[in-house]
Structure 1
Amino acid sequence: MPLRSLPRLLLLLSGLLLAVASPLQAQQPTAVIAAEAHLEAWSDPLASLGTLRADESVTLSATVTDTVAELNFRDGEEVEAGQLLIRLADDEAQADLLAAQALREERRNAVNRLTQLQQRNLAPRGDLEDARSRLRQVEAEIQALEARLNDYRLRAPFGGRVGFRNVSVGTLVTPGTELVTLDKLDVMKLDFTLPELTLGEISPGLALSATSAAYPDTVFGAEIASIGTRIDPVSRSVSVRALIDNPEGKLRPGMLMNVVVQREARRALVIPESALIPEGRRQFVLTLTPDDEHRVTRREVSIGARRKGEVEILTGLEAGQLVVAHGTERVRDGQPTRLLGILDDTTSVSELLRRDREAAEASG
């Protein structure tokens, strides 16, 4: 190449370099939203399925053969302890009781006469003892008849709600005939199972939450009341029982509940799940350096448990460091950024973007 053409070539190369460099110099830092790695209480929940049972439950049945004389309840009615629910026809038993009471009065009078005569030595002492024995005999018969009469009256053993009435007045019942159910529903028993390996992490008093498909928007809080004394050798699980307050009567025996037991909390380093950049089995985050134009640094981290919107960081970060939570796909390692804000409990991505848009419109 002639020497006289060299200056022209250098001038052309310089122009090309300036043309390439000008867009890079004019490029603005990428806007990002950050979050701070922070320590907070973290609990790994245990999930299970449970079945509800009434705090107290009984089926009242007949113990004698007779017809129904009275029904003193309505379907689903709340009853009090001791309230008479059903009375069976007891005319014959009542007649036997009246006869026995009359006989008791007769024998009591006989004892009184013989006592007076014996005090004046006008009657043998043996006759008085025989009369007293016959009086005690009839008193025992009266007690037996009164106990028999109780079998004709079915009372609520505790306060609760009765079920459907499946008999009518005049129905002939026999011993064992189920007449009505009674459930105490102000407190419910929730029975479920947990794996054997969790036995050392649960204890009475541990909090849990339960939900039902019948009330998907309602979370019922409870505590573990007791833990089974045996491990199922087939499923290798332990039975657990919790108590749930049910003042409004929403919960019913037999309902299926989704149970989440909150284990003892630990301190964990937490960041938003959106800050993770997965590559195969490895996880990375982009940290920001506030003293250097919030320049991005790519770091590999190891993660632990996850929960909705958050992830536990085991290694690779320290508390207080800023990570890119929104905009990770637009920035690269070593690139400066424009920080729009830091996410916390009082802010959101949409709120920070709105503020930036309003500020741009006001300055433009």
Structure 2
Amino acid sequence: MIPSRPRLLLLGLAALMFAPLLAAQQPTAVIAARVSLAAWSDPLEALGTLHADESVTLSATVTDTIRELNFRDGETVTAGQLLVRLADDEAQADVRAAQALRDERRNAVNRLAQLQDRNLAPRADVEDAWARLRQAEAQVQALEARLADYRIYAPFNGVVGFRNLSVGALVSPGTALVTLDKLDIMKLDFTLPERALGQVTPGLPLTAVSDAFPDASFAGEIATIGARIDPVSRSIMVRAVLDNPELRLRPGMLMRVVVERAPRETLVMPESALIPQGERQFVLVLDESDQYRVDRRQVVIGARREGEVEVLEGLEAGELVVAHGTERVRDGQPTRLLGILDDDTSIPELLRRGRGDAADNG
């Protein structure tokens, strides 16, 4: 019979000796991610400047004073809306005088035509009367066109700028009255290096962001590619169009552009799942039907982006790969799955959840 104290010492030594073996028999906890099909592209970045889809500075073409200003600063106006009217009293009087002369000559033509029907007027007199009538009609049209110069209408839907003139101000030809910009669609001009010419085509999607709206991105597409290469910078000008329904974007803004080259749907997994070995890449695939047993597999990868990598060969959509814990497991070992990464979870969250489950089981 071994005394109680030596017996306790022997049991403690045995526990220390067999503890590693017992720990090795417990499945290693890992976090996995599912290989999925996702949209992918090869980004090409640039800086660009915004321009309004249509932009014009409306100016006077005659000399006179302003009679009406029918807009407010920054107001949205519609095509055909009267914005500015100049004092046109004299021009209207000229039109009325020309109309009266036209009516007089039309009456003369009618009288001579009746006399000619009765052979009481020479044909030459009638032809001369017709010529004078056409001359009067042309003069009316010219004066009516001149009268239209006293009214400035919006040529398209848009947003007017600041009103810098007042009623009664004298303006002359060339005087800027108001700016008008069509902002629901914006043009984005940027340059790309010459080597990218064969990789971009009209219709290619892109996204643009601005420091003014750091949490927003604006989608668009390439509309036009310049016809010439700049011989100094060896770059080409590209124009894209962006929808701007909320009118947040403004002409002149600097935008950071990301062109989505070669858009495609491909297999994607977290970059943390990769195990590099020389020039080769491996992943640890989990067998869901066999205690999440590890299968070490070589893969061929393509492009990378933040936190993700494109898989070209070696995996199929839906397979589980170890995304956290790759250094603690070996080929053929069973594992304990703490969770699967997705858009709503993160590695720290799954680790906290795993520690909590382990404490509950203990």
What does residue 205 of structure 2 align with?
A: 207
- Aligned partner of residue 64 in structure 1, secondary structure: coil
What does residue 340 of structure 1 align with?
A: 337
- Aligned partner of residue 209 in structure 2, secondary structure: strand
- Aligned partner of residue 141 in structure 2, secondary structure: helix
What does residue 12 of structure 1 align with?
A: none
Q: Give, in whole Å, the separation in 2 of the partners of 1:177 and 1:110.
A: 44
Q: Structure 2: any 5+ residue segments left out of the alignment? A: 1-13
1:343 maps to amino acid: I
Of the three residues 14, 21, 27, the one matched with 1:25 is 21
Q: Which whole-Å deviations, capped at 9, do the CAs of 1:180-239 have from their partners, x for residues lacking one? A: 111111222222222332333322222221211111111212222232233323333332
Deviation of the 1:274 alpha carbon: 2.5
User: 1:115 and 2:113 equivalent?
Assistant: yes
1:193 maps to amino acid: T
Matched-pair contact (CA < 8 Å) for 1:34–1:339: no
Q: Give, in whole Å, the separation in 1 of the partners of 2:271 and 2:90.
A: 79
Of the three residues 210, 225, 228, the one matched with 1:227 is 225
What does residue 194 of structure 1 align with?
A: 192
Deviation of the 1:165 alpha carbon: 0.9
Matched-pair contact (CA < 8 Å) for 1:84–1:155: yes
1:182 maps to amino acid: L
Q: Give, in whole Å, the separation in 2 of the partners of 1:277 and 1:69.
A: 78
What does residue 8 of structure 2 align with?
A: none
Q: Which whole-Å deviations, capped at 9, do the CAs of 1:258-309 have from their partners, x for residues lacking one? A: 2112222356554422345679x86865636767995696x99876432121
TM-score in terms of structure 2 length: 0.81
Question: Which sits farther off after the overlay, 28-37 or 63-72?
Answer: 28-37
1:233 maps to amino acid: P
What does residue 88 of structure 2 align with?
A: 90
Matched-pair contact (CA < 8 Å) for 2:85–2:151: yes
Question: Which sits farther off after the overlay, 269-278 or 43-52?
Answer: 269-278
Of the three residues 165, 168, 174, the one matched with 2:166 is 168
Question: Which sits farther off after the overlay, 283-292 or 226-235?
Answer: 283-292
Matched-pair contact (CA < 8 Å) for 1:273–1:310: yes
Q: How does 1:252-291 map to 2 (within 5 A)?
A: 252-266=250-264, 270-276=268-274, 287=284
Deviation of the 1:173 alpha carbon: 1.0
Matched-pair contact (CA < 8 Å) for 1:32–1:324: yes
Of the three residues 146, 149, 154, the one matched with 2:152 is 154
Of the three residues 306, 309, 319, the one matched with 1:308 is 306
- Aligned partner of residue 169 in structure 1, secondary structure: coil
Relative to structure 1, the CA distance from residue 223 to residue 286 in structure 2 (aligned partners, 3 Å threshold; closer, same or farther) is closer
What does residue 98 of structure 2 align with?
A: 100
- Aligned partner of residue 262 in structure 2, secondary structure: coil
1:260 maps to amino acid: V
Q: Give, in whole Å, the separation in 2 of the partners of 1:80 and 1:244.
A: 21
What does residue 57 of structure 2 align with?
A: 59
Matched-pair contact (CA < 8 Å) for 2:292–2:336: no
Deviation of the 1:166 alpha carbon: 1.2
Relative to structure 1, the CA distance from residue 269 to residue 101 in structure 2 (aligned partners, 3 Å threshold; closer, same or farther) is closer
Question: Which sits farther off after the overlay, 241-250 or 352-361?
Answer: 352-361
Q: Give, in whole Å, the separation in 1 of the partners of 2:286 and 2:326.
A: 15
Deviation of the 1:130 alpha carbon: 1.9
Matched-pair contact (CA < 8 Å) for 2:67–2:168: yes
Of the three residues 330, 346, 349, the one matched with 2:347 is 349
Of the three residues 167, 177, 180, the one matched with 2:178 is 180
What does residue 239 of structure 1 align with?
A: 237
Q: Give, in whole Å, the separation in 1 of the partners of 2:98 and 2:331.
A: 106
Matched-pair contact (CA < 8 Å) for 2:299–2:315: no
Q: Structure 1: any 5+ residue segments left out of the alignment? A: 1-17
Matched-pair contact (CA < 8 Å) for 1:31–1:337: no
Deviation of the 1:311 alpha carbon: 2.6
Q: Which whole-Å deviations, capped at 9, do the CAs of 1:141-185 have from their partners, x for residues lacking one? A: 111111111111111111211111111111111111111111111
1:340 maps to amino acid: L
RMSD: 3.3
Count matched residues. Answer: 344
1:25 maps to amino acid: L
Q: Give, in whole Å, the separation in 2 of the partners of 1:288 and 1:198.
A: 38
Q: Give, in whole Å, the separation in 2 of the partners of 1:328 and 1:193.
A: 43
Matched-pair contact (CA < 8 Å) for 1:85–1:155: yes
Question: Which sits farther off after the overlay, 288-297 or 236-245?
Answer: 288-297
Deviation of the 1:253 alpha carbon: 1.4
Matched-pair contact (CA < 8 Å) for 2:44–2:260: yes
Relative to structure 1, the CA distance from residue 39 to residue 162 in structure 2 (aligned partners, 3 Å threshold; closer, same or farther) is closer
Of the three residues 68, 75, 78, the one matched with 2:66 is 68
Question: Which sits farther off after the overlay, 100-109 or 37-46?
Answer: 37-46
